[in-house]
Amino acid sequence: MPEVPPEPAVPAPLSQAGFLIWPGLLDPAEQAAWVDDLRGVVAAAPLVRPVTPGGRAMSVRMTGAGRLGWIADRAGYRYAPQHPSGMAWPPVPPRILALWRRVTGLSRDPDCCLVNYYDPGARMGLHQDRDEGDFGFPVLSVSLGDDGLFRMGGARRGDRTVSRWLRSGDVVLMAGAARLAFHGIDRIRPGSSRLLPQGGRLNVTLRVVAG
């Protein structure tokens, strides 16, 4: 007899530039529940605007949950066990962990749930995520609120890029070659979603930091 899977399987994703994308995997009710969960995270660990080692404030505001959070300051970029204020990061909400398990099928849970908030003028320049210790694990991203123009490249900064609008409820998995691909958010489309009463875009990424 086949075993009953612990969570419903996910439908087949579409693949673009090696990125696996599930448009609208989270339905509107589930998106609203995520926003409630994230309100709790932000209440425990307020959004901050990181300052890069070069001394420039990022336009995206960030916080996180889990054992480790990603921070940036004059000393550099790194994963840290505490919020910049000195408090511990709150736990990853169970609903968010459940999506990680369902989509990745991994028994290893993520160490970090990074929360990015984009106001109408915010963007994220083309970059790689390489502060983690083991690139064999995937990164999972969930978009909520206003649409964001996602740019996907290759392993080298100069590689050709393709762009697609990520909408509220979309889920993206970066695994294999895409795990080290350059990527960024060029802009958001203010007013494109009513999920967040104050507008803007939230992105949640789940990462294994240390193998």
Residues of this chain that interact with ligand MD3 (CB under 6 A) are 114, 116, 124, 129, 139, 141, 148, 172, 174, 178-179, 181, 183, 185, 203, 205
Residue 147 engages Fe ion in binding (rule: CB under 5 A):
no
C-beta of 115: minimal distance to ligand MD3 in Å?
9
Q: Which is nearer to ligand MD3, 114 or 209 (CB)?
A: 114
C-beta of 1: minimal distance to ligand MD3 in Å?
38
Residue for token pair 């762009």: 163
Q: Which is nearer to ligand MD3, 63 or 116 (CB)?
A: 116
C-alpha–C-alpha distance, residues 199 and 192, integer Å? 8
Q: Which is nearer to ligand MD3, 167 or 179 (CB)?
A: 179
Answer with the entry of ligand MD3, Fe ion, none that 174 interacts with (C-beta below 5 to 8 A by kind): ligand MD3
Q: Are 132 and 111 in contact (CB under 8 A)?
A: no
Residue 132 engages Fe ion in binding (rule: CB under 5 A):
no
Interface with Fe ion (CB under 5 A), residue from 34, 93, 112, 129 = 129
Residues that bind Fe ion (CB under 5 A): 129
